A and B are shown apart, each in its own frame.
Chain A
Amino acid sequence: MSGLVKGSVAVVGAAESDLGQVASGSSPLDLMAQATIRALDDCGLTLKDVDGLFVAATQVRMGPMALAEYLRIKPKYFDGTIIGGSSFMSHVAHAQAAIQLGLCEVAVIAYGSTQRSVSRAAASPREFNPYESPYRPILPISAYAMAAARHMHQYGTTREQLAEVAVAARKWALLNPKAWEKEPLTIEQVLNARMVSYPFTVRDCCLVVDGGGAIVLTTPARAKSLKKKPVYVLGVGESLSHANISSLPDFTVSAASESGPIAFKRAGLKPNEVNMLSLYDAFTITPILFLEDLGYCPKGEGGRFVADGAIAPGGKLAVNTSGGGLSYCHPGMYGLLVMIEAIRQVRGECGARQVPQCDIALAHGNGGVLSSQCTVIFGSENTI
């Protein structure tokens, strides 16, 4: 056995914390703890079973220490990798390695943020960069806006096609009782909303809400004795391409073009064998880029691919069935919630928005300014 092995770990518990707007004084750790306890309840394990801890948060610099103290866990293995919104997909890869090597057996991955309550500026202060800060880009928005502008120039992608992504997300959100947004949205409303960083209006940008989540992973052997059907990790892929947007060589290609093939190879699967996609939609351009980079359409065709409701309920491909970061929930680093929706789809727990016979789901995380890309493919027992 070498490297990460298909199905060597399973997700057994998954939960969100309270989402939306929390009470004044509620902390990111309160939310992480709540999600952790809920995720353990989901599978029938307790804090005493947890021996692996993976935490990343912008408001808690030393996450594994802080959550271990709060819940009085003494993990044998811990990891605080922080690479933005894809941190938690990366944690899955690292937890899989640790569990495969026997360094821990029950791993919790947790996140929490109160960015709506305390403001984004306070929750996620930006580092000064002498080569970028003088120009006052609204980061991360302007970086993605420049990627969208380049995609429009190079491939003829339109603002209407970008808006289709937001409208599809809203249609899914209306099927999710936990979604923040409750009202329908039209393409015209997206285009006519307040301009933030051209070509993005506020409706091309993800929500700013409070929230968190947690998932529990363990060995297939242990998973079989727990409350829920295991959801297996079939393949993971991680890739970093840059830190600052100025250093991204081609603004129309993300490192998902590297993380995706790694994950598919480990899973022994092809893109068309996946039943639903959970793609980090920080901005309307990101699902378009990831559909291209992960192999769902040729480079440059993403805008045309999403047109005419293709990724909305009833469309040709189920993408972001929770309503995504654009309409369901976006508490800062949203990657953990991207995975929770994919896990629930494989479990068949999604009610009105359930994708029929969803045995394989792909969760793709994005971090920084298109900087870190991590892909996780989940599968039901039928896929092992």
Chain B
Amino acid sequence: MIDLTKESPLGVYSQYLKNGQLAYQFCTDDNSVCFYPRAFAPSTGSPNLEWRVSKGLGTVYTTTVVHYKGEAPLNVAMIDVDEGFRMMSRVEDIDPMAVKIGMRVQFKVHPGNEKQAPYPIFTPIGDIK
């Protein structure tokens, strides 16, 4: 069981990201995938959450393009990662409006900046599923 005075789910996740890895959790009680990281598994309430590393491949479930005044349009998308979890992210290296539902994408780490820790983003990998 996680000792929350020693470590946090977010802390462990962030450490994986710093090493270039997209981590998720797996509940060994009911073999279900868990994301976002938690101290206890949803439904079972089990502490038996195993950390696993995703292959980083996924499919765009839905997408939008946000318009902030005085900035370039920015993509925001929901990615269904192949291991069976969904996460909010951004698809880069492509015109934000060209991001399409069903598009296959691959994870990479955005380095962040002084105010923002590194975070996962995705880039297109070709064929539309």
A124 interface contact, C-beta 8 A: no
Known: A149-B64, A251-B61. A134 touches B78 (CB 8 A): no
Contacts of B5 in A (CB 8 A): none
Interface hit among B25-33, B48-56, B85-93: B85-93
Contact mask for chain B residues 33-44; partner A; CB cutoff 8 A; 1 contact, 0 none:
000100000000
CB A195 to nearest CB in B, in angstroms, measures 5
**When the two chains form their complex, are residues B62 and A146 in contact, meaning their CB atoms are under 8 A apart?**
yes
B119 interface contact, C-beta 8 A: yes
CB A141 to nearest CB in B, in angstroms, measures 8
**When the two chains form their complex, are residues B88 and A246 in contact, meaning their CB atoms are under 8 A apart?**
yes
**When the two chains form their complex, are residues B66 and A130 in contact, meaning their CB atoms are under 8 A apart?**
no
- Name A197's contact: one of B36, B67, B97, B102 (CB within 8 Å): B67
- Name B88's contact: one of A137, A149, A196 (CB within 8 Å): A137
Among B63, B78, B88, max chain A CB count under 10 A is at B88
Contacts of B76 in A (CB 8 A): 135-137, 142, 146, 197
A333 interface contact, C-beta 8 A: no
B57 interface contact, C-beta 8 A: no
Contact mask for chain B residues 71-107; partner A; CB cutoff 8 A; 1 contact, 0 none:
0001011100000001111100000010001100000
- Name B97's contact: one of A196, A198, A245 (CB within 8 Å): A198
**When the two chains form their complex, are residues A137 and B64 in contact, meaning their CB atoms are under 8 A apart?**
yes
**When the two chains form their complex, are residues B78 and A146 in contact, meaning their CB atoms are under 8 A apart?**
yes
**When the two chains form their complex, are residues B66 and A131 in contact, meaning their CB atoms are under 8 A apart?**
no
Among B64, B66, B90, max chain A CB count under 10 A is at B64
Known: A137-B76, A146-B78, A153-B101. A198 touches B88 (CB 8 A): no
**When the two chains form their complex, are residues B62 and A138 in contact, meaning their CB atoms are under 8 A apart?**
no
Contacts of B125 in A (CB 8 A): none
Q: How far is the CA of A376 from the CA of B74 in the complex (A)?
A: 38
**When the two chains form their complex, are residues B62 and A132 in contact, meaning their CB atoms are under 8 A apart?**
no
**When the two chains form their complex, are residues A198 and B65 in contact, meaning their CB atoms are under 8 A apart?**
yes
Q: How far is the CA of A199 from the CA of B65 in the complex (A)?
A: 8
CB B35 to nearest CB in A, in angstroms, measures 8
A/B pair count, beta carbons within 8 Å: 72
**When the two chains form their complex, are residues A153 and B62 in contact, meaning their CB atoms are under 8 A apart?**
yes
- Give chain B's interface secondary structure class: strand
- Name B89's contact: one of A135, A194, A198, A199 (CB within 8 Å): A135
**When the two chains form their complex, are residues B88 and A197 in contact, meaning their CB atoms are under 8 A apart?**
no
Known: A134-B116, A146-B76. A197 touches B62 (CB 8 A): no
**When the two chains form their complex, are residues A130 and B62 in contact, meaning their CB atoms are under 8 A apart?**
no
Known: A134-B116, A196-B66, A246-B78. A150 touches B61 (CB 8 A): yes
Q: Which residues of chain A (91-145) have a CB below 8 Å from chain B?
A: 130-132, 134-138, 142, 145
Interface size on A, residues (CB 8 A): 25
**When the two chains form their complex, are residues B90 and A135 in contact, meaning their CB atoms are under 8 A apart?**
yes
Known: A197-B65, A198-B64. A132 touches B97 (CB 8 A): no
**When the two chains form their complex, are residues B66 and A149 in contact, meaning their CB atoms are under 8 A apart?**
no
Known: A131-B36, A136-B74, A150-B101. A145 touches B88 (CB 8 A): no
A147 interface contact, C-beta 8 A: yes
B12 interface contact, C-beta 8 A: no
**When the two chains form their complex, are residues A197 and B87 in contact, meaning their CB atoms are under 8 A apart?**
no
CB B120 to nearest CB in A, in angstroms, measures 9
**When the two chains form their complex, are residues B78 and A196 in contact, meaning their CB atoms are under 8 A apart?**
no
Known: A136-B74, A246-B78. A146 touches B64 (CB 8 A): yes
Q: How far is the CA of A131 from the CA of B89 in the complex (A)?
A: 8
**When the two chains form their complex, are residues B66 and A142 in contact, meaning their CB atoms are under 8 A apart?**
yes
**When the two chains form their complex, are residues A132 and B67 in contact, meaning their CB atoms are under 8 A apart?**
no
Contact mask for chain A residues 252-271; partner B; CB cutoff 8 A; 1 contact, 0 none:
00000000000000000000
Q: How far is the CA of A165 from the CA of B117 in the complex (A)?
A: 40
CB A371 to nearest CB in B, in angstroms, measures 15
Contacts of B102 in A (CB 8 A): 153
Provide 7 A-B residue pairs closer than 8 Å at the C-beta atoms, listed in order of the A residue: A131-B87, A135-B89, A137-B66, A149-B63, A150-B61, A153-B62, A196-B67
Residue positions of A touching B, CB distance < 8 A: 130-132, 134-138, 142, 145-147, 149-150, 153, 194-199, 245-247, 251
Interface contacts beyond A136-B74, A146-B63, A150-B62: sample of 4 additional A-B pairs, CB < 8 Å, sorted by A? A131-B36, A142-B64, A149-B101, A251-B62
Q: Kindly list the 4 A-B residue pairs having the minimum CB-CB distance in the complex, ordered from nearest.
A: A150-B62, A145-B64, A134-B119, A198-B65
